[in-house]
Structure 1
């Protein structure tokens, strides 16, 4: 019986090739989108699960209250590590202190490579359950050792065995390779971890770290701490125990910030990373929900097409249903027959969509910044795919099967049954309105996301990004010969200026407290971004001054001077409208006086969607690890970089020449929003395509049903324009209703989305008008082909059967 069902279903498809193609094409597009989004959601939700201790790993976080606002971050003080180790040993299997991921130079026998890595205390590899290929993770207990990822080991040692080989970190730290671990997958927080070195090595080789550990500096929150809970403990109870550790140990300066220690489980690191005023408000989980809803709706649009075309063509199936019922078919048998047709269409569409998903997955990965693969051999995937296909078939076929099987055989066989009444057409109209409401909402949302990106990109950045290059340098070779390096670079004609800084122009690594000034409210808590620079930094990046001057080597007093941004001046309450009155004001930092010598426009160094931090620039006595160069205008970038590499290699031959263009680094700050915009644009286009496919099918069937009516109207004098209007009006009205429904929905959703950005665009009325008019135009184009084709038929042929 089932075999006969499918045989009849195949014949029906073969008999109506156009409608079959529309149904299969729409379902293929919808299922492909749903598959890709499903893979993306699975990848997001499986983040960090590579680590087998995933359920019990957490990171220590710290909350501090500043002027009534609670700030939450994963940066914590070094003494907390020993406190947790010594006093809470029963609560944790592992407690690991770690530096932040940074790029370092790894050197071996004259070859050098710049790789990202961390300095971590013993137990890190075991806690992260790294898959060791060679050696042992326990080797990190020796401070002069290193673990390498498989790809890093291959890059450095080629085909030689790396175990027990000696190499250098940053030119001056000798370490022995004690282990090689398998590369960590891309969907892990640690996927960039090319090497792990002992934290004790970091302490012994870095003065400020040594001071922070030796002096138990509770006010220096420059580290990370990861923990693994022991099996008999629960996160909530342990978090309650350690909450007030810093309150019990910190000095008076720290106590006024009311510090609290938190535990955030690894399961929430990726999807719930955003905190506002002490509350975990979400993060990427909103994208999971967003794309999940889009995937469901796009697939639903394709299912609606199937429902609409099946019910629209029900008159052709009426006599078939009547005959089957007259000869004894039960309604459930008819339902089974009709469902078999929907399952056959879904099966064909599912097979095609699998092929399409495989073909477009590389492009989708590039846009979504993923490294996903289709898990063909995973039984869960196969079962999920089967369930997905069955569910789609049930959704798509349910309404047509129930609708068609409800026909009364007597009326159907006598020809008295008609599908043109309101009762028959109203459900189809509702479904069409739903389709276009979803499509228009997606279009409006896509345009607003793109407008928000442009709004942030057009925001004044306070300096000139074009022609700026930054380099991370390790060691003191460049700093010791800085003037000679600059002189050689200028002679090449490629560079006009050079400067050092503690951080690149596109990042802020440190913020400090302990500032005081005349007229400061005693209850005001101050925290400023503090950026150490060389004298020519402002000249190199192109600061825009509002008052005062830049640092100068001519004035030795500038070593005790500050250049501040407008946000800092506003916060301190200096100057009013005349910023020149700020010049010469004294700010004390931990009791040491500094004079303000200049005020610059706010320089965007972090997110262009957020307010600029209150920033203070000062002369760094030892220079920073970052060098920024201004390329000479008109000099070719390729030739300039070649000349720079030659000069740098002259003074630091053992270090690789690595650089980043500042404008490209700044552009990366828009990456997340641009990915949303591109994906939403693709999904919106597919939603419109699927909706128009359905509209085209319904318009074709409607025109076919009204062929004789059109012939009579032409005989009575109706023009082609009159007939086109007659056949198009109903569809235009449905899309217009969709526009009226989509506009408030889109406004509410996008207004809520924009509110999370402190610096955001306005929602303009032209976006709604353009989306609606564009959709109406597409609708007219879709419907007009069939309307005009039918209107131009010879009425003699249309009426020859009468």
Structure 2
């Protein structure tokens, strides 16, 4: 609908024509509603595959651009349908594989050789969060992160509940006489429990209402941070019902124990002033304090680890120089003017080199795979999957890739049309012994009479062309035309001038086509957008957790100093210094934080190592990370406690002891 209004704002789009890619006239036969934001793919125009040359090349064993969607009849069993796929592979796929690699291929023989080929079904609703397949239409989410952040949010909520429980029980002395009087007047314990739970529920409900207002104003900021399009369902009745139910649950979780604890005071003992504060210094409250700081320390360690891995990926030596490279996209739109565009751009003194190729060392570039084998060996014995990139003579120089042996492509050697340059991994996988220069590498033809051998003229140093989650695979460069994009190396000081030059040249040669460009270093950073968002969200959650934990610690410290006022007065009267008093009031809570640190270390170590398993190349998370997290938490906690401690230590002992 949006595109129809864009191109045909003054009339009906049906029956009209659109010219796509400067060379095809397409008739508009339907207009569909805009794809919702919450969809696993988005498209503006649907075009029939029939008649497209690219569609004719799609086979069962090649063409990752083809996606198959099936609408199953109601009542169809997915498992039963999938059980029929092996027979389909045997009948239709194996003959194509046999044509590609030769030999009498059957599914059993294919699997026995250590290969695998199978089809499976994925529910469309599960693709975004559960699919890990390559060549999806759009980058997917990850259900693991949904579970992770949900768990963190729950833990932060638990921390807040712990603070409520601790403060409620810690200030029990202030309500002890109230409970005693109410019991003497005939109140039942159940009535007192209901009262305390009602107070907890009202406080929680007010908190939910306040949180809703805060969420409303901060949701756009969070969407920007998380790259999502979340909305609050303010027009849905069930949403408010859910808030009330959640308020009741949180009120029970936070208020149930204090309600039973406060309602359990014996009136005779309370009215005589014989109140046992119970959990004031007990192991339960200490355990709750330890728990909330375990969560806080864990989040701080995770935040540091995620950002350390991100820095490692962004700063790791890649095998090429990604800075000062600008990519002009959709270069095929230039047609026959592609080479003149490159030559015209190179006349600018700020541009040092340029290359025409759609194969780029960053996710999103073209990719090409084929099957090859070692020269002199039967193709059915040691076939190897190899990636092949089609480039021109200036490719390696523009990206500043390092030749370890031999040479790169050159216009001076006509024989380079049958030459190949391999990376170090390809040399190792093919087990080419000795000097590889001048040796042959056959192509993937199963017919011995049609095999074309490529002469190895150079070995390029391994470089990373995908995310560091992936290992470097065998790769070969061929000297062929590839018109996907044009990449130029330029001087950073003249960026604006270079962009203007390229845009003007483009408009002169192809005035009706849009000029699109990007910088390679920015495209490289986009590969790690998930890690960048993860680090920021972890930092927000860690900050929130430590703030909530320290608020509770601040209140507990204030209450502790209030309860120990007379003790502090006596100690000062006997000559204790301010430092002695501050140390006295801080050491108990400091001990709890140290215990939390010891408990958080193994949890954080295990979780971080599990997360790093997804990366083929990863940083070492050393002991310094854990020490920094522990020290940071301890310093923040000491700063939180210091105000109340110093205030108590500087108080006049006469004020606290004059009634004794």
Partner of 2:315: 458
Shift of 1:152: 2.4
Shift of 1:260: 1.9
Partner of 1:801: 659
- Tell me if the contact between 2:332 and 2:338 (Cα under 8 Å) persists in the aligned partners: no
- Work out the CA distance in 1 between the residues paired with 2:299 and 2:334: 55
Partner of 2:483: 624
Per-residue CA deviation, residues 651-689 of structure 1 (Å, 9 max, x unaligned), is 111101011111100000111111111101110011000
Aligned mate of 2:44, from 194, 215, 232: 194
- Work out the CA distance in 2 between the residues paired with 1:482 and 1:740: 63
- Tell me if the contact between 2:297 and 2:600 (Cα under 8 Å) persists in the aligned partners: yes
Per-residue CA deviation, residues 216-254 of structure 1 (Å, 9 max, x unaligned), is 665555522111111131111111112331221232246
- Work out the CA distance in 1 between the residues paired with 2:373 and 2:602: 50
Written as runs of structure 1 = structure 2, the 5 A alignment for 1:461-476 is: 461-473=318-330, 475=332
- Tell me if the contact between 1:439 and 1:687 (Cα under 8 Å) persists in the aligned partners: yes
Partner of 2:91: 248
Per-residue CA deviation, residues 161-215 of structure 1 (Å, 9 max, x unaligned), is 3232211110111012222222212221123x11111111xxx242x53244xxx
- Work out the CA distance in 1 between the residues paired with 2:151 and 2:416: 57
Cα 1:739–1:418 shift into 2, 3 Å: same
- Work out the CA distance in 2 between the residues paired with 1:157 and 1:275: 38
Partner of 2:557: 699
Shift of 1:627: 1.7
Aligned mate of 2:641, from 783, 789, 801: 783
Does residue 1:179 correspond to 2:30, yes or no? yes
The CA RMSD over aligned residues, in Å, is 2.1
Written as runs of structure 1 = structure 2, the 5 A alignment for 1:78-89 is: none
- Tell me if the contact between 1:245 and 1:261 (Cα under 8 Å) persists in the aligned partners: no
Partner of 2:469: 609
- Work out the CA distance in 1 between the residues paired with 2:343 and 2:557: 75
- Work out the CA distance in 1 between the residues paired with 2:222 and 2:640: 28
Written as runs of structure 1 = structure 2, the 5 A alignment for 1:538-617 is: 538-575=396-433, 581-589=435-443, 590=445, 591-617=451-477
Where do 5+ consecutive residues of structure 2 fail to align?
Answer: 135-139, 446-450
Runs of 4+ in structure 1 displaced over 6 angstroms?
Answer: none
The 3-state SS of whatever aligns with 1:225 is coil
Does residue 1:499 correspond to 2:355, yes or no? yes
- Tell me if the contact between 1:459 and 1:608 (Cα under 8 Å) persists in the aligned partners: no
Partner of 2:56: 210
- Tell me if the contact between 2:405 and 2:460 (Cα under 8 Å) persists in the aligned partners: yes
Aligned mate of 2:167, from 306, 309, 323: 309
Partner of 1:227: 70
- Work out the CA distance in 2 between the residues paired with 1:428 and 1:630: 63
- Work out the CA distance in 1 between the residues paired with 2:425 and 2:173: 71
Shift of 1:509: 3.9
Specify which structure has the higher proportion of strand: 1
Does residue 1:377 correspond to 2:377, yes or no? no
- Work out the CA distance in 1 between the residues paired with 2:63 and 2:561: 76
The 3-state SS of whatever aligns with 1:647 is helix
- Tell me if the contact between 2:324 and 2:519 (Cα under 8 Å) persists in the aligned partners: yes
Shift of 1:384: 1.6
Shift of 1:720: 0.7
Does residue 1:448 correspond to 2:305, yes or no? yes
Of 723-732 and 539-548, more deviation after overlay is shown by 539-548
Per-residue CA deviation, residues 625-660 of structure 1 (Å, 9 max, x unaligned), is 2221222x1552122111101111111111010111
Aligned mate of 2:5, from 131, 151, 154: 154
Aligned mate of 2:367, from 493, 497, 510: 510
- Tell me if the contact between 2:408 and 2:458 (Cα under 8 Å) persists in the aligned partners: yes
Shift of 1:402: 1.0
Does residue 1:489 correspond to 2:345, yes or no? yes
Cα 1:656–1:744 shift into 2, 3 Å: same
- Work out the CA distance in 2 between the residues paired with 1:302 and 1:244: 57
Written as runs of structure 1 = structure 2, the 5 A alignment for 1:511-530 is: 511-518=368-375, 523-530=381-388
The 3-state SS of whatever aligns with 1:264 is coil
The 3-state SS of whatever aligns with 2:384 is coil
Shift of 1:382: 1.8
The 3-state SS of whatever aligns with 2:121 is strand
Does residue 1:403 correspond to 2:261, yes or no? yes
Cα 1:306–1:716 shift into 2, 3 Å: same
- Work out the CA distance in 1 between the residues paired with 2:340 and 2:609: 55
Of 585-594 and 695-704, more deviation after overlay is shown by 585-594
Per-residue CA deviation, residues 552-584 of structure 1 (Å, 9 max, x unaligned), is 1221111111111111112112246xxxx1111
Partner of 1:123: none
TM-score by length of 1: 0.76
- Tell me if the contact between 1:735 and 1:776 (Cα under 8 Å) persists in the aligned partners: yes
Shift of 1:348: 2.1
- Tell me if the contact between 1:457 and 1:608 (Cα under 8 Å) persists in the aligned partners: no
> How many residue pairs end up in the alignment?
632
The 3-state SS of whatever aligns with 1:801 is coil
- Tell me if the contact between 1:456 and 1:609 (Cα under 8 Å) persists in the aligned partners: no
TM-score by length of 2: 0.92
- Tell me if the contact between 2:469 and 2:614 (Cα under 8 Å) persists in the aligned partners: no
Written as runs of structure 1 = structure 2, the 5 A alignment for 1:263-412 is: 263-274=121-132, 284-412=142-270
- Work out the CA distance in 2 between the residues paired with 1:716 and 1:683: 46
The 3-state SS of whatever aligns with 2:498 is helix
- Work out the CA distance in 2 between the residues paired with 1:526 and 1:406: 76
Shift of 1:475: 4.4
Written as runs of structure 1 = structure 2, the 5 A alignment for 1:40-51 is: none
- Work out the CA distance in 2 between the residues paired with 1:172 and 1:734: 72
Cα 1:474–1:157 shift into 2, 3 Å: farther
- Work out the CA distance in 1 between the residues paired with 2:561 and 2:417: 84
The 3-state SS of whatever aligns with 2:119 is strand
- Work out the CA distance in 2 between the residues paired with 1:176 and 1:800: 97
